[in-house]
Amino acid sequence: MAEKFDLNEREVWDGNYAASQAMRQAKVDVMAAYPITPSTPIVENYGAYVANGYIDGEFVMVESEHAAMSACVGASAAGGRVATATSSQGFALMVEVLYQASGMRLPIVLNVVNRALASPLNVRGDHADMYLGRDAGWIQFGAFNSQEAYDLALCAFKVAENHSVRLPVMIHQDGFITSHTAQNVYPLTDEAAYNFVGDIDPVDDMLDFSRPVTYGAQTEEDWHFEHKAKQHKAIMDSVPVIEEVFAEFEKISGRKYKRVETYMMEDAEVAIVALGTTVETSRVAAMKMREQGIKAGVVAPRVFRPFPFDLIRDALENVKSVAVLDRSSPGGAMGAFYNEISAALYTTPKRPLVTNYIYGLGGRDFAVQDAIDIYNEQKANADAGYITTDIQQFSGLRGPKLGFFQTKRS
């Protein structure tokens, strides 16, 4: 019997502590981890909860993140509730096994505290690691603050383990800005949290000796395509389950989550589309724009995968100029997020102008004024009816102005 952990109605937690409390309340059976900054406290705290008797679980020390996710695959295939956390280089080393986990339809929960990828080495937050995992077949939730890191972690188990989903889920939070900033968090009681998540009901579990199964089969050109298509269908079909889980969570917590969060978008003429903590910065900037009479709004995918192609269109189709903010070095292309938003908007009748801003790499601060500058450029685009700036620009970068591509106008 686990020890009782005393909780106040309101706690002051950083994102890491909030996520680790969700791991405790969900009674994670196995956590295999190789701790890495800035996500270390999540797995460290879980280890402490096990050692101090707050969880009846197993902390597995491994020799790398590749091994960490591999051990998670084994434990999840065995039928346990499994979670871990990582960041940056550790995430990169995990990537091979991320594809294995989703391909085997294992409901592992991974807390990703977003951090830049080397080189040059950097421990601060950007979204390079999150982007690296975007094709891995995992459901991806975005938390913009500590409360959300906690809430979404609880939702993640319930989505992942649902029998019509059975896919692994990542919860992303920004390194340091969320993970190490103490904020007010309103936790559920242990009973309410566990009643919400519920017991895991394993599928094809390897500890069922009455039905031995093979995991990790080889499929060549005559089988592989069908299996990957089935997996893609599963993640696309997870949408109603995600929405049900968010609705159920709202009932017990009063906190409402949507696949795409929109702020002041009802009459918006210009918009910023962003991920992570930048969403809250942009909201402050949008309010200031509205004081000047500029109808500014913010759109933020809460669920990054499955990509909310439908809701992005609904939110932005009547906007005149949209700025898509990519917090990852694009490496020779337009930002990946920009490309995805643009693809959705290209299928709308009015096709808003869409511009791309690379910003905040390696934890470079993105201030309210930066967002205001971006809104002003969008307003100029909206008034002109075309993109007046380079299509890809860099916000908060020192040195001569850098930008790429201009609108083709006859």
Name the residues that contact other proteins, by CB under 8 A. Answer: 103-106, 166, 203-204, 209-217, 219, 222-223, 225-227, 229-231, 233-234
Report residue 135 as tokens: 């094709």
Nearer to other proteins, 187 or 202 (CB): 202
User: How is residue 357 annotated by DSSP?
Assistant: E
- The whole-angstrom separation of Cα 68 and Cα 64 is 6
Nearest-approach distance from CB 136 to other proteins, in angstroms: 15
Nearer to other proteins, 135 or 365 (CB): 135
Nearest-approach distance from CB 241 to other proteins, in angstroms: 15
User: By three-state DSSP, how is residue 174 classified?
Assistant: strand
Nearer to other proteins, 53 or 240 (CB): 240
Are the C-beta atoms of 316 and 306 separated by less than 8 Å? Answer: no
- H/E/C letters for each residue in 251-268? HHHCCCCCCEEEECCCCC
Nearest-approach distance from CB 210 to other proteins, in angstroms: 4
Nearer to other proteins, 63 or 222 (CB): 222
Which residues on neighbouring strands pair with residue 114, listed in sequence order? Answer: 174
Strand residue runs (E) in 290-395: 296-301, 303-305, 321-326, 353-359, 392-395
- The whole-angstrom separation of Cα 138 and Cα 171 is 10
Nearer to other proteins, 216 or 254 (CB): 216
Nearest-approach distance from CB 150 to other proteins, in angstroms: 29
Nearer to other proteins, 3 or 208 (CB): 208
Nearest-approach distance from CB 338 to other proteins, in angstroms: 31
Report the C-alpha dihedral over residues 111, 35, 106, 193, rounded to 10 degrees. Answer: -50
222 phi, psi to nearest 5 deg:
-90, -10
Nearest-approach distance from CB 164 to other proteins, in angstroms: 10
Nearest-approach distance from CB 103 to other proteins, in angstroms: 7
User: By three-state DSSP, how is residue 346 classified?
Assistant: helix
User: By three-state DSSP, how is residue 388 classified?
Assistant: coil
Nearer to other proteins, 28 or 234 (CB): 234
Are the C-beta atoms of 191 and 154 separated by less than 8 Å? Answer: no
Nearest in space to 379 (alpha carbons), one of 324, 325, 322: 322
Residues 6+ apart with CB under 8 A from 91: 65, 112, 129, 132, 133
- The whole-angstrom separation of Cα 100 and Cα 91 is 14
Which residues on neighbouring strands pair with residue 325, listed in sequence order? Answer: 357
Nearer to other proteins, 159 or 273 (CB): 159
Nearer to other proteins, 224 or 350 (CB): 224
Nearest-approach distance from CB 234 to other proteins, in angstroms: 8
Ramachandran quadrant class, 156 (left: phi over 0; alpha: psi -120 to 50; beta: rest): alpha
Nearest in space to 331 (alpha carbons), one of 171, 139, 116: 116
Nearer to other proteins, 230 or 256 (CB): 230
96 phi, psi to nearest 5 deg:
-55, -45
Nearest-approach distance from CB 302 to other proteins, in angstroms: 26
Nearest-approach distance from CB 203 to other proteins, in angstroms: 7
Rg, C-alpha atoms of the chain: 21
